[in-house]
Amino acid sequence: MTDSHRTGTIDHFLDKSHGKFGFGADTPPALRIAPGTGETIGFETSDAVYEQLHQHHDMEKLTVGINPVTGPVYVEGAEPGDALVVTIHEIRLKEHGWSVSIPGTGALRRVMGDTVFTRQIPIDADGVHVTERHVFDARPMIGCIGTAPAERVNSTIMPSYPQGGNMDLTECRPGSRVYLPVMVPGAYLSIGDIHALMAEGESSFVAIEAEGTAVVSIDLVKNMPLRAPRVETADEWIFVGLGDPVQESITRGYEDMFAFLTGQHGWDLGDAYSVMSAVGHTRLGGPTGSGEPDPLHPFAAVGAVTIHRLPKNVL
């Protein structure tokens, strides 16, 4: 897979005023576009919640929501049973990001205490200045990307859904293509939650969050039903598993990889089984789970997101 897009003019720009706190077809689209034209769309994201947390250090004083997504974009000709293909060309970061600990969230919730921790993280040509002595290269990615469900509205926080959502996959980065199922006419694509840098799995629940603009283009594959997202990178196919418990998530992701080899590529069942046993790697995905959380514990994940990687050189 190659990406010939160059940094430059964006054909359609959606600023952060188009931010919504759900994935759904219940609001008018911010843009209608034909797929396959190569036209680029810039989705600007917002870091307003982190600015307010930095100012107040108090969740009760927030006047903005958490994790808005910009959109939605209506894709002409997209129908249920199709797949949307979102090519990520570039992610333009702004001058700073945020490290934030929200009480009761993430794998470090027991040691970070009951107060809100925040740190503004400068971003410049040298990299992402996480501490005074730790400067890392930026590896920008999209944390939250998805289409509308057939009914109701999906959360932008948790869980992750068959239509995408807050998956927090490091592979959703420039040069990748994200495949998302279409469940309603027009698909209604939305994007948010840009990260300047994120450890795989986002175990702390918050990465180096950053406001920025994701520049993408959209293609459409007719009659390609998907039961979960998948990501194509230069070297790998990545299948997302969703399930509860984690073993069910692994099973579903592995089944999708197996169907990809035996169905789409016509492999013998034994060949697919043996190759996957050798090089079909599995790891945990983002921390948002696959099932609706208990309303009394809204940041406690139910189920799992798993990632299943197949090298392209076996195809």
- The verdict on residue 246 lying in a domain is no
The per-residue pLDDT for 296 is 80
Q: What is the CATH number of the domain that holds 107?
A: 2.60.120.580
- The verdict on residue 41 lying in a domain is yes
- Give me Rg for the CA atoms of the chain: 19
- The verdict on residue 130 lying in a domain is yes
The per-residue pLDDT for 214 is 98
Residue with tokens 């870091």: 47
H-helix segments, the chain: 48-56, 109-112, 246-259, 269-279
Number of domains within the chain: 1
The per-residue pLDDT for 7 is 53
- The verdict on residue 125 lying in a domain is yes
The per-residue pLDDT for 295 is 87
- The verdict on residue 288 lying in a domain is no
DSSP string, 243-257: ESSHHHHHHHHHHHH
- The verdict on residue 215 lying in a domain is yes
- The verdict on residue 72 lying in a domain is yes
Give the three-class secondary structure for 29. Answer: coil
Could you tell me the residue range of the domain that residue 53 belongs to? Answer: 12-226
The per-residue pLDDT for 15 is 97
Tens digit of pLDDT per residue, the chain (315 long)? 333 334 578 999 999 999 999 999 999 999 999 999 999 999 999 999 999 999 999 999 999 999 999 999 999 999 999 999 999 999 999 999 999 999 989 899 999 989 999 999 999 999 999 999 999 999 999 999 999 999 999 999 999 999 999 999 999 999 999 999 999 999 999 999 999 999 998 888 999 999 999 999 999 999 999 999 999 999 999 999 999 999 999 999 999 999 999 999 999 999 999 999 999 999 999 999 999 988 888 888 899 999 999 999 999
- The verdict on residue 123 lying in a domain is yes
The per-residue pLDDT for 1 is 37
The per-residue pLDDT for 6 is 41
pTM listed for this prediction: 0.94
The per-residue pLDDT for 300 is 87
CA distances to 163, 283, 315 from 275, in Å: 28, 17, 10
Q: Please list, in sequence order, all residues whose beta carbon lies within 8 angstroms of the beta carbon of residue 89, skipping any fewer than 6 positions away.
A: 3, 5, 40, 174, 215, 216, 217
Is 49:19 a contact under the CB 8 Å cutoff?
no
